[in-house]
Amino acid sequence: MKNFLMLLALLVLSIFSLLIGVSDVSLIDLFNLSNEGLNIMLLTRLPRLVSIIVAGVGMSISGLIMQQISRNKFVSPTTATTVDSAKLGVLVALIIFSDASPVNKMLIAFAFSMAGTFLFMYVLRRIKFKNIVFVPLVGLVLGSIIDSISTYMAYSFDLIQNVNTWLMGDFSMIIKGRYELLYISIPLIIVAYIYANKFTIVGMGEEFSINLGLNYDQILNIGIGIVAMITSLVLITVGRIPFLGLIIPNIVTIFMGDNMKKNIIPTALFGAIFLLLSDILGRLIIYPYEVSISLIVGVIGSLIFLLLLKRGDR
């Protein structure tokens, strides 16, 4: 029933999103479009809607996987160096391969985000004090170090403004032909659903997983690979979207419990709803101009994160 209500809310918000824009398109026009209206829908608004939904689903499930395999509710691609490492990969691609295609940039970002996430997981396995707040702080420190390296390289090659502008989460530039890479996230999400129970077992520890006959390292690598690839795809296509992978799985867990197999669909739906609602809000605040999605999600997400920290402390 809850999934049905969220699906219905997503459908309503999707229709509303298609109607918002500088060019007026009414609800009746959706079923009786002129050539101009059809072009607006197919070239800009529909690609934007699809990219929002896929990005929201992908980043939310990535956060759910990270929290499960790390056994910490405050770990996500944002707090586990995954996003910062992917950003460094994009910068390296811009410096070394200035004319690289989006696919090549995505592959380089994927390699760096994998390496950064493995570094975080290695450090996590080495430290003994694994307080629920301390662990993501370690990730934020590592991420800040990687981000400092990126900033230094960007200044050295006079790319700081280009990188900051390009990586700022923004759906306003999404048009047909510039978002299709996100479709790669869909089979990865399906794989995440298939492996959900195994990720749950891996989250219980290496020894426990081996005793149940699972290949701990293999399942861990699959989970990190899914997270790194989805994060790279979203970063390349849309830009950086903070907090999404952190707050959505936590909110779903509060109401649905800790069963990952059961939570993966509500997490996907709620992530898409939250990102779509944030995008609509960003488009209406200073209409006809827009506020970037990273700013809207960052403000709302940081407030929710503080509430989660307070709740976790209790």
What is the C-alpha to C-alpha distance for residues 78 and 63, in angstroms, rounded to an integer? 9
What is the C-alpha to C-alpha distance for residues 69 and 200, in angstroms, rounded to an integer? 7
> Do 66 and 260 meet the contact criterion of CB atoms below 8 Å apart?
no
Q: Tell me the CA distances in angstroms from 167 to 132, 244, 279, one per residue in order.
A: 29, 16, 17
pLDDT at 33: 59
pLDDT at 57: 93
pLDDT at 1: 64
What is the C-alpha to C-alpha distance for residues 106 and 109, in angstroms, rounded to an integer? 5
pLDDT at 272: 92
pLDDT at 312: 56
What is the pTM for the complete model shown?
A: 0.86
Q: Which residue has the tokens 């990102």?
A: 275
Cα separation of the two ends of the chain: 31
pLDDT digits (tens, 9 = 90+) for 77-114: 888 888 888 888 888 888 887 676 777 777 888 888 88
For the chain, which ranges sit under pLDDT 50? none
**Assign residue 181 a region: left if phi > 0, alpha if psi is -120 to 50, beta otherwise?**
alpha
pLDDT, the chain, mean: 82
Q: Is 44 exposed, middle or buried (0-12, 13-18, 19+ CB in 10 A)?
A: middle
Q: Is 83 exposed, middle or buried (0-12, 13-18, 19+ CB in 10 A)?
A: buried
pLDDT digits (tens, 9 = 90+) for 148-167: 888 888 888 887 776 776 67
What is the C-alpha to C-alpha distance for residues 57 and 192, in angstroms, rounded to an integer? 12
